[in-house]
Structure 1
Amino acid sequence: MSNHGAEPGQAGLRVLVVEDEFLIADYLVAVLEDAGHRIAGTAATAEEALAILGSGQAVDVVSLDVKLPGGLDGIDVAEWLRATAGPPFLFVTGSGDPAFRARCEAVQPLAILQKPIDPDRLLRVLAGVAAG
């Protein structure tokens, strides 16, 4: 894996990774930590993500898989984040369905990243969050 290290003096963000596929979650965590970000937690379901977000734990940004097992999906979490003025979020999806993409865009994410993840694009999105 290439070194995607943070710039000198750049503080790492606390990122919540919401992803139900273990290998993808593990990859995202590795990319983020390699770049100097901290993992605020990982969640495999929307319910786990909402529990972490509702716990008062500090989270600067959320990486949300769109399709999650259970009754809620990543868009439900995004809607909750918008309604509660929670941290900014980006979507990670493997879906190419235009109607589904329109539903994602409606909640105004920072970005919609297509799987397989381009780590450089992910880190550029996070750099924008860190810059304010």
Structure 2
Amino acid sequence: MLSRDRALLSGRRVLVVEDEYFLADDISRALRSRGADVAGPVGELEDALRILDDGLIVDGAVLDVNIRSEMVFPIARELRARRVPFVFTTGYEKVSIAPEFHDVPFWEKPIEIAAMIRGLAGLIGQSRT
């Protein structure tokens, strides 16, 4: 891995909302290896809302579309209201994503974690300029 990749998310906090333990762990490790501070990972919508409601500053997020049979859109709406960039991961097709979020990048499982992180890092960089 290039040193540039290691610093890709240096100083950024990324919320991970994913209910598949091993995938959540893989995503979190990959984010940390690129310099990110990871909020979570959490596998319940209530836990994600609590992180946001507690005033924790997040710079970006990775959201699984379906968390324990609940759609993640309330979290996505809150992030959008705060102008925090995010990406979706899903085992479903794009039609499962609410129309209001069709502009949000999404990664079908099994996801290519490195590419997803590069995409998220690009969004975070754009949001800060």
TM range (shorter): 0.7 to 0.9
Q: CA deviation at 1:8?
A: 7.4
Find out whether 1:92 has 2:89 as its counterpart: yes
Q: Taking structure 1 as the reference length, what is the TM-score of the superposition? A: 0.80
Change (3 A) 1:120 1:9: closer
Q: 1:111 aligns with which of 102, 105, 125?
A: 105
Quote the RMSD (CA, aligned, Å): 2.3
Find out whether 1:78 has 2:76 as its counterpart: yes
Find out whether 1:131 has 2:125 as its counterpart: yes
Q: Is the 8 A contact 2:6 2:34 kept in 1?
A: no
Q: CA deviation at 1:4?
A: 6.5
Describe the superposition over 1:96-127 as per-residue Cα deviations: whole angstroms up to 9, x where unpaired.
Answer: 2x5314x2x52255410111111232122123
Matched positions, count: 125
Amino acid at match of 1:57: L
Change (3 A) 1:14 1:46: same
Counterpart of 2:20 in structure 1 is 21
Secondary structure in 2 matching 1:95: coil
Secondary structure in 2 matching 1:33: helix
After TM superposition, the structure 1 = structure 2 runs for residues 28-107 of structure 1, keeping only pairs within 5 Å, are: 28-69=27-68, 72-82=70-80, 84-96=81-93, 98-101=94-97, 103=98, 106-107=100-101
Secondary structure in 2 matching 1:16: strand
Q: CA deviation at 1:129?
A: 2.8
Greater than 6 Å deviation, 4+ residue runs? none
Describe the superposition over 1:4-55 as per-residue Cα deviations: whole angstroms up to 9, x where unpaired.
Answer: 6545765342111000111110010111111221112221011110110111
Q: Taking structure 2 as the reference length, what is the TM-score of the superposition? A: 0.81
Cα separation, 1, equivalents of 2:21 and 2:27: 10
Secondary structure in 2 matching 1:92: strand
Listed as ranges, the gaps of 5+ residues in structure 2 are: none
